[in-house]
Structure 1
Amino acid sequence: MNLIEDTASLAEFCQTCADVPYVTVDTEFLRERTYYAQLCLVQLARPGKGNDGAVLIDTLADGLSLEPLYELFRNRNVVKVFHAARQDLEIFQVNAGVIPQPFFDTQVAAMVCGYGDQVGYETLVRQIAAAKIDKSSRFTDWSRRPLTDAQKTYALADVTHLRRIYEVLAAGLKKSGRAAWVEEELAVLLDPETYRTEPADAWMRVKTRSNSPKFLAAMKELARFRETMAQVRNVPRNRIFKDDALLELAAARPATLEDLGKSRLLLRDARKGDIAEGILAAISAAKDLTPSEIPEPREGNGRKSGSEALGDLLRVLLKARSDSEGVAQRLVASAADLDLIANEDLPDVPALHGWRNEVFGRDAMRLKRGEIALSANGSEVRVVPLA
């Protein structure tokens, strides 16, 4: 099997890809022990059959530079094809400030082509490439060397079958005229801001039901400190302290090391040293936040409950329109979109813009205004205009 372990071999292979219409790409990485993903392997294939024209790039090989690969990623004449690419693109953006362009995501394209919500690669391999993947190496430590033959076979399959999947989906989009739908969806993945994690926003990932301003202020500053410390140390945020400990600290708001020692959930290492000092400093800083800097409660915010019936109707409409157009519901409108459409007078959500508005948004607003009704005819749901 073609395993590339030096820069010269990588440059030579990437040069052979410079004149092809597309290449397929995948990665294997670990992030259980680090904050930033550890890139362990890159799979790359140019058009061909079987394993011909497919290689594995050992990113852990001594002295190997990925610059030839990044140069290929910058080549605007070659489409870079991934499946469910968000984490792959994040790695390349964080490690090298490079996002492959032009870029195609077969998961997004499959959702537009009617294969379902967030369809998996294995499903597309089975349905489009008429092949089966050996899953025995799915959960493996990709940082260990040497790689086994089973690992290599599994890794190559992630890009060899992807060639056929891309060709079929691209042809389908061209025939349906929906390529622009995919491009609109991929714009988010091509934006470097998508992969920037700001410690000031880390509180948004913490689930809480408390509406207390003092609690929310402390939670925000504790989450900010934890995110910063995790980035600096390159360890998972839960290695600093877990969410349940963060919530306990935000509620108790200890002021001294002695108070901190009374925490039931805080790990022993977090009760001393830099982490302990950071916790106390974060709680102190929370006291100085202005009302506009304190997070707004995300539950119990007074949102009207009388629109639940409208929300149910919108879900029925979404399913009917999605089925009619042969596109995944989740791609057209999220649950949050439906909630805002049902409850806000002037909602500004993706479902009311671009192609989504054509497929669903316009009818959703007409339904809300009482201009249309829904009628069932067996299993079929129809839109009925009202006088």
Structure 2
Amino acid sequence: MYYQWVDQQTQLSHLVEQINCSALNALDTEFIKVDTLYPKLGVLQININDQVYLIDGHLDLADLWQKLFQARLNIFHACGEDIDLIYHYAQHAPLNNVLDTQIALAFLGYGMQMGYQAALAEILNVDVEKDQTRSDWLARPLSEEQIRYAVSDVYYLPQLAENVIQRLKQQGIYHFVVEDCQHYCQSLAEKLPLDQLYLDAANYRHSSRQLMQLQQLAMWREQLAIDTNQPRSFILKNNTIHRMLERTPHTMQQLFELGEVKPAILREHGKHILKLLNELPDQKQWPKRLAKPYRYYLDETTHKIQQLLTVISQQYGIPTDVLLRKKWLQQLQSFVLNERQDLSTLNIYLTGWRLNLLTLPLIEILAQDIAARRSNISC
């Protein structure tokens, strides 16, 4: 597996030019993100026209990042962390030219989280080692094991992509996968406003007061994580926050007795945490309690939903868990229950190729169930 090590700024211009002429680029990144909020790039791997480049993350890659947004097609496997890193370094988003082979393989029935090593073994009958994932990618020089690992991550990726693309096109669902990859990259670019971050940890069991406490703690933690470049869990873990909501400590001693707050955080921020828990704004400003999960009124509703999914799955050969995820269905339930009309407010996955095929029929089924419930209540 021949590769070229790129550690000089002058080498990048030729590489960037090649991206212009390439039908696809296979990419991966190796980084360190142990004690920071933002990743530290160690190596960027890219395969352009069967030439593998290992690019030193210490270089200024601004031109290369921007070129990736203009490329014809960027191939990744399990791209989430890679895309997050590119957005961070490029300070630009979203990427609309990505094909993730992990997402593609999910459409082909290989499960939602098939790893790269397993994919190569299953699809290409190639065995690669994955034993350097947690090694120090900032150290120089790289070891032979690290180099072999880094090269293999993109050496076979074009072959894997070509195989799954051909199968997806034969099945007539390639454009479905491309759209889902675009939606995924778009979702990675979307950041909740500070005052809505609490929703990621909130549930319907929380009282309005607890939601206010959670909102204040989540906003404070996020801002501190950004300012100090620390992982959120280094400041307060979610489980610790939930314990605070349950007990609402009023004194430093009570906060200490939780046993879950790091001594440094307790010393520097303990009093402020107590203030966030106990000094709340006017009750009129507290968030409303979240709705309980909707329970179907009609016995046949679940059957109708499953039947719809089965028919579409058999027609297109797409697994039902790829067609519809539980959280999307819950969002649809809320949409119909609250009598919303603007389909553009739905999750982006539900407004593309799924809209006529799945979303609108589901809305009709849910509307029938909700109408039956309301009719019974009125009687």
TM range (shorter): 0.7 to 0.9
Residue in structure 2 matched with residue 332 of structure 1 by the alignment:
323
Deviation of residue 367 (structure 1)?
6.2
Residue in structure 1 matched with residue 259 of structure 2 by the alignment:
264
CA contact (8 A) 1:116 1:327 kept: no
Residue in structure 2 matched with residue 56 of structure 1 by the alignment:
54
Matched, 1:122 2:117: yes
Deviation of residue 91 (structure 1)?
1.1
Taking the aligned partners of 1:231 and 1:211, their CA distance within structure 2 comes to 27
Task: Name segments (4+ residues, structure 1) moved above 6 Å.
Answer: 366-370
Residue in structure 2 matched with residue 297 of structure 1 by the alignment:
290
Residue in structure 1 matched with residue 309 of structure 2 by the alignment:
318
Cα deviation 1:243-288 (Å, max 9, x = unaligned): 2321232233344545544443322222222x22431342255333
Residue in structure 2 matched with residue 214 of structure 1 by the alignment:
209
Q: With structure 2 as the length reference, what TM-score do the two structures score? A: 0.81
RMSD of aligned alpha carbons: 3.2
Taking the aligned partners of 1:211 and 1:306, their CA distance within structure 2 comes to 25
Amino acid of the structure 2 residue aligned with 1:24: A
Residue in structure 2 matched with residue 85 of structure 1 by the alignment:
79
CA contact (8 A) 2:45 2:151 kept: yes
Deviation of residue 44 (structure 1)?
0.3
Residue in structure 2 matched with residue 286 of structure 1 by the alignment:
280
CA change 1:270–1:116 in 2 (3 A) is closer
Larger mean CA deviation between 147-156 and 355-364 belongs to 355-364
Larger mean CA deviation between 245-254 and 188-197 belongs to 188-197
Deviation of residue 175 (structure 1)?
4.0
Taking the aligned partners of 1:286 and 1:209, their CA distance within structure 2 comes to 20
Taking the aligned partners of 1:87 and 1:181, their CA distance within structure 2 comes to 22
CA change 1:143–1:286 in 2 (3 A) is farther
Taking the aligned partners of 2:270 and 2:329, their CA distance within structure 1 comes to 43
Amino acid of the structure 2 residue aligned with 1:182: V
Cα deviation 1:5-37 (Å, max 9, x = unaligned): 121122222323321211111111222211112
Residue in structure 2 matched with residue 355 of structure 1 by the alignment:
353
Residue in structure 2 matched with residue 251 of structure 1 by the alignment:
246
CA change 1:71–1:226 in 2 (3 A) is closer
CA contact (8 A) 1:135 1:154 kept: yes
Cα deviation 1:111-161 (Å, max 9, x = unaligned): 334444343322332233331111222343323332211111111111111
Amino acid of the structure 1 residue aligned with 2:82: D
Amino acid of the structure 2 residue aligned with 1:322: S
Share of identical aligned residues, percent?
A: 21
Residue in structure 2 matched with residue 157 of structure 1 by the alignment:
152
Amino acid of the structure 1 residue aligned with 2:130: K
Aligned length: 359
Cα deviation 1:352-387 (Å, max 9, x = unaligned): 6443245444665676689xxxxxxxxxxxxxxxxx
Larger mean CA deviation between 353-362 and 343-352 belongs to 343-352
Amino acid of the structure 2 residue aligned with 1:356: R
Deviation of residue 79 (structure 1)?
1.6
Structure 1 unaligned spans of 5+: 371-387
Residue in structure 2 matched with residue 203 of structure 1 by the alignment:
198
Taking the aligned partners of 2:279 and 2:41, their CA distance within structure 1 comes to 36
More helix by share: 2
Taking the aligned partners of 2:30 and 2:11, their CA distance within structure 1 comes to 20
CA contact (8 A) 2:251 2:274 kept: yes
Taking the aligned partners of 1:41 and 1:307, their CA distance within structure 2 comes to 55
Taking the aligned partners of 2:251 and 2:353, their CA distance within structure 1 comes to 56
Q: With structure 1 as the length reference, what TM-score do the two structures score? A: 0.79
Amino acid of the structure 2 residue aligned with 1:45: N
CA change 1:258–1:365 in 2 (3 A) is closer
Structure 2 SS opposite 1:141: coil
CA change 1:173–1:244 in 2 (3 A) is closer
Structure 1 SS opposite 2:31: strand
Taking the aligned partners of 1:223 and 1:112, their CA distance within structure 2 comes to 36
Larger mean CA deviation between 113-122 and 349-358 belongs to 349-358
CA contact (8 A) 2:117 2:130 kept: no
